[in-house]
């Protein structure tokens, strides 16, 4: 799909961040949009930014954790636009907590959005993409789907799962060609609200000092603007790449993922212990 002009693109999590940036970039390229989010205000702002460019823009409040809601939205998109060519399963949330301290409720909340939301979006839209004769499934994983990080067990689990799920889908689409392909996206530190909106457990303060300090430290790694990320994602779609590393830090994470597991894990553990000792000299 080297020309996005006139195509119909559905985007989850379109109310902010990468989802909003994708919507704006696609509308500039002449693609029609079906946008969804749980944030009504943010979604309306994205719609306003994309209208007036000669493309059709529709929107719907959708919780991607709700399978029935996603399936109904996919059918609605086809009813409103006549077809759909791209689904960007982008919606996501974050939880920072150790394995011991994270609640089952927070773990399930994250998995229902970050993993099951991707599954719901893929399965709901895939038949419509095939019916259109040309389509692309774009599933957003993370650099944390390449390398595991302490305090990110739930996020790691979801993003590794998205990677495996989408890789399998890509192979299946190649076994029986139908005009549809799939790409896994691995963003690095993108300047979005996901970290600021994260659920942060007190256990993370052992390293960062406090919840507020943890967010300040995390924000330092958010170096790639979402607009640049959107352009890189669309380039990956146009070139039909299997995976796309978004941002220079994503390239570093990919390189680290190829090291022996014991090596990079010991380095991460050592760095975390060093930070803890700097904040609490008497800590082990």
Structure tokens at 244: 């796309």
Distance CA 67, CA 226 (A): 27
β-bridge mates for residue 255, sequence order: none
* Topology of domain 8-279, CATH: Rossmann fold (3.40.50)
Task: Mark whether 264 is an active-site residue.
Answer: no
- If one counts every other C-beta atom within 10 angstroms of the C-beta of residue 143, the result is 24
Question: How confident is the model at residue 209, as a pLDDT?
Answer: 46
pLDDT at 210: 43
User: How confident is the model over 139-182, as pLDDT tens digits?
Assistant: 999 999 999 999 899 999 999 999 999 999 999 999 999 999 99
Of the residues 115, 155, 160, 253, which is catalytic? Answer: 155
Residue 22 · residue 50 · CB < 8 Å: no
Q: Does residue 215 contact residue 199 with C-beta atoms inside 8 Å?
A: no
Read off the pLDDT of residues 99-144 as tens digits, 9 standing for 90 and up: 999 999 999 999 999 999 999 999 999 999 999 999 999 999 999 9
The whole-angstrom separation of Cα 136 and Cα 88 is 9
Predicted confidence at residue 284, as pLDDT, reads: 53
Taking the whole predicted model, whether its pTM rises above 0.75 is answered as yes
Residue 255 has pLDDT above 90, yes or no: yes
Residue written as token pair 């719609």: 47
pLDDT for 1:
77
Q: For residues 158, 106, 148 and 101, what is the CA-based torsion angle, rounded to 10 degrees? A: -160
Q: In which region does residue 38 sit, left (phi positive, over 0), alpha (psi from -120 to 50) or beta (all else)? A: alpha
Condensed to tens digits (0 to 9), the pLDDT of residues 47-73 reads 999 999 999 999 999 999 999 999 999
- Mean pLDDT, rounded, of the chain: 90
Given this model, what pLDDT does residue 271 score? Answer: 82
Reference 11, options 94, 93, 70; nearest CA is 70
**Res. 272 pLDDT band, cuts 50 70 90:** confident
């Amino acid at each position: 799909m080297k020309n996005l002009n006139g195509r119909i693109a559905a985007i989850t999590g379109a109310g902010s961040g990468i989802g909003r940036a994708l919507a704006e970039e696609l509308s500039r390229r002449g693609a029609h949009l079906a946008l969804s989010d749980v944030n009504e205000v943010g979604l309306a702002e994205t719609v306003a930014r994309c209208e007036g460019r000669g493309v059709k823009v529709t929107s719907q409040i959708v919780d991607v954790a709700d399978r029935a809601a996603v399936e109904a939205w996919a059918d609605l998109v086809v009813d409103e636009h006549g077809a759909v060519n791209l689904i960007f399963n982008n919606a996501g949330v974050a939880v920072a907590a150790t394995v011991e301290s994270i609640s089952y409720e927070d773990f399930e909340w994250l998995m229902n959005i970050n993993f099951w939301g991707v599954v719901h979006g893929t399965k709901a839209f895939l038949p419509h993409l095939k019916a259109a004769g040309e389509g692309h499934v774009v599933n957003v994983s993370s650099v944390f789907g390449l390398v595991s990080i302490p305090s990110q067990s739930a996020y790691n689990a979801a993003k590794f799962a998205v990677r495996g799920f989408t890789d399998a889908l890509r192979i299946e689409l190649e076994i029986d060609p139908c005009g549809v392909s799939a790409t896994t996206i691995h963003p690095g530190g993108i300047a979005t609200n996901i970290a600021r909106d994260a659920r942060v457990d007190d256990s993370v303060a052992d390293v960062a000092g406090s919840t507020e300090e943890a967010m300040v430290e995390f924000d330092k790694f958010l170096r790639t603007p979402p607009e640049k990320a959107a352009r890189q994602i669309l380039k990956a779609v146009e070139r039909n790449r299997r995976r796309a590393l978004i941002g220079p830090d994503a390239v570093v994470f990919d390189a680290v993922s190829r090291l022996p597991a014991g090596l990079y894990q010991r380095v991460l553990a050592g760095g975390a212990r060093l930070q803890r000792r700097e904040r609490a000299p008497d800590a082990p």
